[in-house]
Structure 1
């Protein structure tokens, strides 16, 4: 996500301005007024602009892998070899000794209840298990003392409870953000950020290690794609940030999937993780307080529109012409602006939630008067 340098002329230029566009109340083909909130360190203002919506051509609904999207955008996948020399597209690293065992942290309460029944226990044992993991923050099965010892032994032999290893924590001098770095198998790392804004505490979480989309202004894109995070690994970032906030007498109020990676290219794990975060027991977050940010993966937007999660959608736009956006964000070569906006229109019409547009202001590149008019 971006930081601005210069904005188009509005009485005077504001250095380091960030731009957010809130979607119109109802979208259809044509031009529509959009309220933009412009804010900098010392000032903010609002203006009404127009955004142009055009019909899109019918496209395939089939989901694609990260490598396929990268290949179609850049003619070669952006995967990186693992230590064994094989590309890693479906999981993070090959060094996990228990990788094939079900991860209890990535399971919903109903799934844990079903597991308990399969192992010969009553369903409520699954609810107890969920409480230990998500309410009490316990990762060791041996410490879950109100579960029968025989049940714990069965779980230990057939499943696991993973936990990310925190290797670094860095706090901003102004106290507005805390960055967490977590160790992953294969000598890899993933980041999450806790952002403070008034009474709001927002957890910015990652969905992948690296990213295949190669957006030119993004440091993560330069890593290439190293692997998808599991649902448990996404949830664990959330739980770690919740623990940190709780130790400061605070609580996480919002979640944004705006960290490393393209969330909609890891759709199944993303949705499972968000469903777990929404469970009322534990550090619950309502769907209205969750936002998924995408670089413009149209099939994923449509899947999210059809799903019952009812979370928010943010689109990283960053340019007002296909020519420039394709240079900055290669995914635009496959899903150009008109098709992206049509998918956003579908999301709004099906979910009834306005779409947020993120726009990185780059001096002399995306901050011209013409860009402002096109927006």
Structure 2
């Protein structure tokens, strides 16, 4: 559990909130907006699926407050971009063989509609964890929405700030009995050669080898250990580009907090979304784009709540970028928080100011510390 302390620093609240008529007018406006809302019954030509891994309700609450305070407000009154959606629902999340799920099986369920076993990827529940029967894996594959979109003649894309072979992006194209089998050196010794690691499936097999836009981290599974990191990232000409592969880091991409302080820099989620939509939207049949803010979960694992909140805000910015670029009449946007990472907000007194420390493990090695 991550504890997020709140100090007694007091932000100036909106003076209008003292007046009861402010709240009455606000309520009337919300009611009028709901009454005026007309359900779009057209069939979507394009879809963008945003997944916030580890983005619990308490994480959203704290991120909303922090975002508002960064804008010099008290915070509680602010809204993240996806909180303004007209349609909101809850998802029941579990694995076939375990009550508490993992990212691979839940991503498989989200992208294919089929629940499966813990730690497995792109297969149904007839495949158990660490199953080395490659024929059984192939016979029990499930088809993701990415595969279905390709079959329908649409363009497709995957964006993540984790490794592109990680659980969520992997569920879009790979079929394996263990999500950890990302590279050939992670496969069990003596396994049938016809069993492919996740990176190899992306390059050699459908639907991976037909995906138009792939951006994220994880060069380690595609190049040898002697490969040196390249120089600054080039800006693609989206008008002339139909296929784009961008692997911007050896493993996971940097936290948003430290991204711009890398030697060569890395694109933000928003920047990757912008490039992807420009490329994919050229297809008159539409497109399907998967976008994962996967490092929210990692920050919670590291027990650095402030980093998780800024990752959540970065995902909100990416959603907002998409909203400014798409036609809402023919494009469906879904923002999914997968499963919760517990976050406790402890108020000391008065209107709280969110504070946090940014102490990460040695393996993260940030180049700067967070400003609270």
Q: TM-score, normalised by structure 2?
A: 0.26
Richer in strand (by share)? 1
> RCO (CA 8 Å, sep 6+): is it higher in 1 or 2?
2
Q: TM-score, normalised by structure 1?
A: 0.26
